[in-house]
Amino acid sequence: MSTTPAPEQSAQSHDRFEAVVNLTKRRGFVFPSAEIYGGLRSSYDYGPLGTLMLRNLKDAWWRAMVQERDDVVPIDAAILTNPRVWEASGHLSTFTDPLVDCRNCKERLRADHLENGVCPNCGSTDLTEARPFNLMFKTFVGPVEDDAAVAYLRPETAQGMFVNFANVLTTTRRRPPFGIAQIGRSFRNEITPGNFVFRTREFEQMEMEFFCHPDEAEQWHRYWCEERMAWYLRYGMPASLLRLRPHDKDELAHYAAASSDVEFLFPWGWGELEGIANRTDFDLRAHSEHSGVRLEYFDQATGERFTPYVIEPAAGATRAMMAFLLAAYDEDEIGGERRTVLRLHPRLAPYQVAVLPLSRKENLAQLARDVHARLRRRFICDYDDTQSIGRRYRRQDEIGTPWCVTVDFDSLEDDAVTIRDRDSTDQRRVPIAGLVAEIAALVGD
Ligand code: GAP
């Protein structure tokens, strides 16, 4: 299957990519990590707006995967755990990428990312043989740096769900089918991180392990593929930039019987946002064998004892944020003036509302502060009283704020404010008393 977009789409997208990366830096979504020290390759810090957006995105996942369901429970497992977890899961032996060195420029490269065996850095074909490189970050727990103290930063959140399977089963009295969900940081010592936050060494995952009867695994796999595609559409991802791609047999991870990727059309082609795998009973069996603790389910109604199969929708939060930003970026013309606008879904935008007093005069500022105080109890809300109103609208458009509430001198008389819509730029007058309900109806969902 082709991974290359049509040329015109690709050219447009490369410009868009540059524009989005610049915007995220300029407006405080994403900064190179520790920039005052020259940064660290492919390590990023999330600024005020990026932190808000990332949190909104994780909340949106949480709502769909935990809050709105009665068959999924959450956990929050440790990043550092017993290293035997990684032995049992197969990560110690098989979580590797093929590494080659360029003998000419000394660059280290991923063999499976090379085109025709050519070093992308210097063009040389004088490369070493590929050898497996384990992606897990190794560290030592405690003051003694010996083999007994070795631990790993988790490369996926998933194992936290498997090793807690029995605990969750007994404490919540669940029975399959049910899921355990978790959002958290994962770490991989990627050989070639890059493409901004697409591939980094530290990133956030949103994963759910859904335990079901083996006979129902295929059906649940189809179900979760549909659910997860629908989630991206629900939050405004255009269908034309999204596809579901089933894996070929030779692509499957060591634990998977089947897998499909939700892919986004990045400037460099289709790239994975989320993998939805049928992990079979691989993990529960492996942990049973290594720990000696039986990880199975006994169905008292039928008398059947079985090791559940697992369907796993595993998404990247930071990668999804980048895709939503790329999809939302737009430039248009309003009243003869060019503007940049992020057409983000209201639930994902850093701010849902901005309150803009027309003047800093005390009586107006007081009313605007009151309006702001009412709104911020329900919504993530900005307050901006600097520069002209036109410039403030542009600034809010550029960071994706769907609605601006303008407090003007008439507001002092009529107890009403103007709501301006980011996308249409239409404005209408609304009584202050009904403002919170009005914005809530607009945010919807
Ligand atoms: N538990 C299964 C698992 O971890 P994965 O496909 O390796 O599966 C799931 O990872 C998601 O995590 C990916 O679809 C991607 O969105 C995100 N991800 C993986 N590696 C990443 C990296 N180095 N940087 C940013 N996101 C990454």
- pLDDT digit string, tens, across residues 160-202: 999 999 999 999 989 999 999 999 999 999 999 999 999 999 9
Atom 16 in ligand 1: residue holding the nearest Cα: 316
Tens-digit pLDDT profile for residues 46-58? 999 999 999 999 9
Distance of CA 210 to the CA centre of its chain: 19
Per-residue model confidence (pLDDT) at position 12? 56
Please check whether residue 197 is in contact with residue 44, taking contact to mean a CB–CB distance below 8 angstroms.
yes
Instruction: Examine the domain organization and report whether 48 and 165 are in the same domain.
Output: yes
Which of residues 309, 325, 341 is at a domain's end?
A: 325
- What is the CA(157)–ligand 1 centre distance, in A? 10
Question: pLDDT band at 113, cuts 50/70/90?
Answer: confident
Per-residue model confidence (pLDDT) at position 2? 41
Task: Report d(CA 34, CA 37) in Å as an integer.
Answer: 6
CB-ligand 1 contact for 368 (6 Å cutoff)? no
Q: How far is CA 117 from CA 102, 104, 192, in A?
A: 10, 13, 16
- What is the CA(192)–ligand 1 centre distance, in A? 14
* φ/ψ of residue 99, rounded to 5: -105, 135
Report the atom number in ligand 1 closest to the C-alpha of 207. 1
Per-residue model confidence (pLDDT) at position 84? 97
Domain assignment present for 362: yes
Task: Report d(CA 317, CA 296) in Å as an integer.
Answer: 31
Domain assignment present for 95: no
DSSP structural state of residue 118: B
DSSP structural state of residue 386: S
Per-residue model confidence (pLDDT) at position 7? 44
CA atoms within 13 A on the CB side of 250: 0
- What is the CA(158)–ligand 1 centre distance, in A? 11
Instruction: Examine the domain organization and report whether 153 and 12 are in the same domain.
Output: yes
Instruction: Examine the domain organization and report whether 230 and 303 are in the same domain.
Output: yes
Per-residue model confidence (pLDDT) at position 273? 98
* φ/ψ of residue 401, rounded to 5: -65, 115
Question: pLDDT band at 335, cuts 50/70/90?
Answer: confident
Instruction: Examine the domain organization and report whether 227 and 358 are in the same domain.
Output: no
CB-ligand 1 contact for 174 (6 Å cutoff)? no
DSSP structural state of residue 40: -
- What is the CA(206)–ligand 1 centre distance, in A? 9
Tens-digit pLDDT profile for residues 86-97? 999 999 999 999
Q: How far is CA 395 from CA 22, 341, 379, in A?
A: 15, 9, 19
Which three-class secondary structure state does DSSP give residue 284? helix
Domain assignment present for 355: yes
Task: Report d(CA 371, CA 233) in Å as an integer.
Answer: 33
- Mean pLDDT across 413-441: 97
- Number of structural domains, the chain? 2
Per-residue model confidence (pLDDT) at position 10? 52
Instruction: Examine the domain organization and report whether 319 and 361 are in the same domain.
Output: no
For a mutational test of ligand 1's pocket, the pick from 44, 161, 203, 204, i.e. the residue with the most ligand atoms closer than 8 A to its C-beta, is 203
Domain assignment present for 120: no
Domain assignment present for 36: yes
Report the atom number in ligand 1 closest to the C-alpha of 277. 2
Domain assignment present for 124: no
Domain with 373 in it: 351-443
Domain assignment present for 187: yes
- What is the CA(131)–ligand 1 centre distance, in A? 22
pLDDT at 445 over 80: no
pLDDT at 353 over 70: yes
CATH code assigned at 54: 3.30.930.10
Please check whether residue 358 is in contact with residue 389, taking contact to mean a CB–CB distance below 8 angstroms.
yes
Instruction: Examine the domain organization and report whether 163 and 247 are in the same domain.
Output: yes
Q: pLDDT > 90: what percent of the chain?
A: 91
- What is the CA(107)–ligand 1 centre distance, in A? 24
Instruction: Examine the domain organization and report whether 244 and 318 are in the same domain.
Output: yes
Instruction: Examine the domain organization and report whether 264 and 197 are in the same domain.
Output: yes
CATH code assigned at 424: 3.40.50.800
Domain assignment present for 387: yes
Please check whether residue 277 is in contact with residue 311, taking contact to mean a CB–CB distance below 8 angstroms.
yes
Please check whether residue 122 is in contact with residue 105, taking contact to mean a CB–CB distance below 8 angstroms.
yes
Q: How far is CA 328 from CA 324, 341, 373, 390, in A?
A: 6, 8, 29, 21
Question: pLDDT band at 231, cuts 50/70/90?
Answer: very high
Question: pLDDT band at 8, cuts 50/70/90?
Answer: very low
Element (H, E) at 440: helix 435-443
- And the tokens for 78? 């440790």
pLDDT at 3 over 70: no
Atom 10 in ligand 1: residue holding the nearest Cα: 314
